[in-house]
Structure 1
Amino acid sequence: MRCGHRQCQTCLPNEHQSEITCAQCQTKMLKTEVHLDRGFQNEMRTLLIVCFLCQWNGILDNYQNHLDQSHPNLTCEYCGEQFNSTNNFNEHKVSACQKISVACLLKDFGCNERIIRANIKEHYMTEQHQQSISKCIRQLLSHDNDRRIDTDFLRTTTESYDPDTIQFEELRDIINVLTGGIEALVNDAQRLSNESLQAQITLQTLEEQLPGLKLSIEESNGFLQGVNCNLDILKQDFTSLQEKVNDLQCVSYDGIFIWKITNVKEKMMDAQSERQTSIYSPPFYSSPNGYKMRARLYLNGDGNARRTHMSMFFVLMRSLNDQILKFPFNYKVTFCLYDQTPAQRHIIDSFRPDIKSNSFQRPRTDMNIASGIPKFFPLETIQQEGNPYVRDDTMFIKILVDFEDTPKILLPYVLSLNPGLPTHVQQTLIKQEVERRSQQQSDKQLQLPKE
């Protein structure tokens, strides 16, 4: 420099500043008055140095050749990254390597811990570092007060003042702001500490209450289990009552019952898969004080009729008036599968009870063993599409207990009567048909030639 002092080239002001101040004598000069010291550069090249990577020693001018020959690929011992330049390697270790351990910036204020560079931000939030910050700020404020006294004195004795004073005052203002922020953080930390203590007290109280709550929950669960059991019983009772109500809605007291069977296709599949091989009709009676009966239908057949015929059975049930009724039961039973078309080709079959069978003795249980006609109707006919016996997935079977021993020849007429007619009207029509056929028989006998 013009004043004769030397200064590092990289420490000079930036290119936009034209004036330079010497760091040693404070002499001001133009930037154009500063020249490279080539003599000193030559002296630097002859300096003796030792390689920081091995035992090589020599002058600085030969050091780069040594690095290129002996250490072409420098590797960071902390993170394993490789470099082809010593400068890049040094820059990496100084500022970039995240796995190298560094000393805290506030080591002079009591924070002596060494930290992995990648964890430096977490370290800044530790209590030890925050305390060091507080210590640093207190010392800076103390020095600032002394410096401010000296600055005020200098201002009263001279018209000019050092620009560093302005920079220091700005720094002091920044420190004051930071101090206020730290005080706020300290207050927040105290508040959070109080809230944490309160939360711990609340948690301890809740932990003390927890066994009681668990016991209460267990008692509640036991009560709910009892309620669920009672609810299941009530549901079963309700289902039973509903079935009884449904049965009472279609109950018959004249020994004649028309059984409407819906969802025939589904019931057939249940029977074929043996999920439910048979279904029962609702009970019906011979009279208000008479026999209690029902029908049982095997849609896929029973016994030797299985998979070939539908099996139709009659079941005698226990009733309230069995003590005054006559047993064994010996009245003819007729089954009729309705043809639901105007053709009325009904399927009719009858059987007489075997009075020696237990099926027709006085019932000792809810129901006697079913008895009837195993091969009532061929399955191949009922399974045909468009057959007249199943329409809209529904079929009708009439069960007739014949207490008057109606002739078999008269059964088609009896079963073809309109079920919508009152019973007494049907009985009248049957009597008229019996009289008409008797009269025809008499007339035929009178018309026969005499010998």
Structure 2
Amino acid sequence: MNKEGYDLDFEPTPENRYECPICLLILRDPMQTVCGHRFCKCCIERWINDGKGKCPIDNSDLTDGQMFPDNFAKREILSMKVRCPNRKSGCNTCLELKHIEEHAESCPYHYQFCPNNCLSQLLRKDLDDHLQEQCSKRSVLCSFCEESMLFESYGEHEIICPARMVPCDLCKEDVMREKIAEHVATTCPHATVKCCFFLLGCHKEIKREKMEKHMKSHVQKHLQLMCCAFVKLLNFQNIESILSSRTSGNTSTQNQTESIHDPIEISGDLTALLQTAEGAASGVADGAPWRVPRVTLPNVRSLSIAGPTTKPPPIERSTSEGKSTNLADGASSSELFDTEFQSLKERNTYQDESLARHSHELLELQYKYNNLERNHKDLRQKMRALEDKINSLSDIEGRLCNGLFVWKIKNYLQRRREAETGEMTVIHSPPFYSNFYGYKLCMRCNLNGVDFSVGRHLSVFIHFMQGEWDDILSWPFRGKIVLSVLDQNPVADQRQHAVETLVSKPMLAAFQRPTTHRNHKGFGYMEYVPLDVLDNSTYVVNDTLILKAQVFPEV
């Protein structure tokens, strides 16, 4: 790639005869003309290619064939001592010019971007420490699940890491996040659980750590629930036989009586069942681990008649009035059936009432939803009205600036990152006016450059916009516009603003009257400020870049 002369810090300063008259720098690849003058090869070739066939010094005719390389001067220049270009960064190396490029490739004080694309620019000597300790895009391993990820994602991963120890919300014990649900369901002492006799009628729900105390203090109640459940089971098994016996009439009382088991045998089975339950309860009372007793129910058919299909009829007896009554067991079973039927009836009534109540609640919710929808619609209308007012206020602010507009670009690093990734390469400022009834303009900024300046320079342009008073203005625009990138150094005397002045060129489309909302063509600088200068100065402070534009229309 052709370059102009050497713009380096020579030690000592070379003589003027080694200076190129065109670029005013020390000769690079010197060429000598037939008239005896020396120029940089790149400079003199560009001079001739531009159609200037005269020597820049004595104006004599000059062509490509009238020049030759001056190797003697080249050797002298390459043997001169120069200081490292990174001297301002701390490198004090001084060596011959011919070795400077080789040194620059390995100079520890050379600024370069992080290879992980974290947007950091740092000295080469600090790169290893940055990659290991500071880079937000370095790879790290989770200390809990050993998953590899970027450091910038580590904070989010800690919140969801399944292997990380976290305190249980109930007992505050540290448990792996993925096992929290299992811990609460099985071992957490503060988790609320149902009593083991829940299905039998004990609806107590208490903390797991208090369950043992509950079991010891409610032994009697649990025994009663077990006995009631057992009796219900027997009665439901015999209820069909009892009802059928009522309709069949009195037949062969003697034969039926002989087929019934001895009442003493039945009471013996019940006694054994109760003793089994009491034994289990006493085990709990003595401090043994509690378990639901496994009770083997006696064969229901063995408590009825001996035959495989014959049902036990009610046994009648004579009273003082000559009337017969059923046995107490038959009466008890009939009452139990009536009770269960009444319970089902009440449950059905309750569910009907619950359904009606839920329907009423749904109607109320529908009414509330309709009200919220109307309120939401009203709020949207009010928000649109406020946005219109805000836009009107912004427009008034732009009019009152009288041609001097200051634009703060906040969240600079994020916007710069979006520009580099191509997500949003350009941003526009709010509109402003040259005066209250003047030209309407806006600034355009490409934070990562545009075209050939991408990745190297900040680009800034001015665009004219359709305004309310364009009909009474002179077109195309004539005048000048001063653009500035403001230095935010807290010491005012040390501020060095980057200022450029745009002079209008009426023949360009950028200065013609806009035919759309904003002129597609803008006018400005593709290479305004080098990005490495922005990153290593006080132009960006508190993640904010400030641009200023001042419009001077021609009177």
- Specify the TM-score bucket, using the shorter chain as the normaliser: 0.3 to 0.5
Q: Which has the larger radius of gyration?
A: 1
More helix by share: 1
Structure with the bigger RCO (C-alpha within 8 Å, sep 6+) is 1
Normalising to structure 1: TM-score of the pair? 0.46
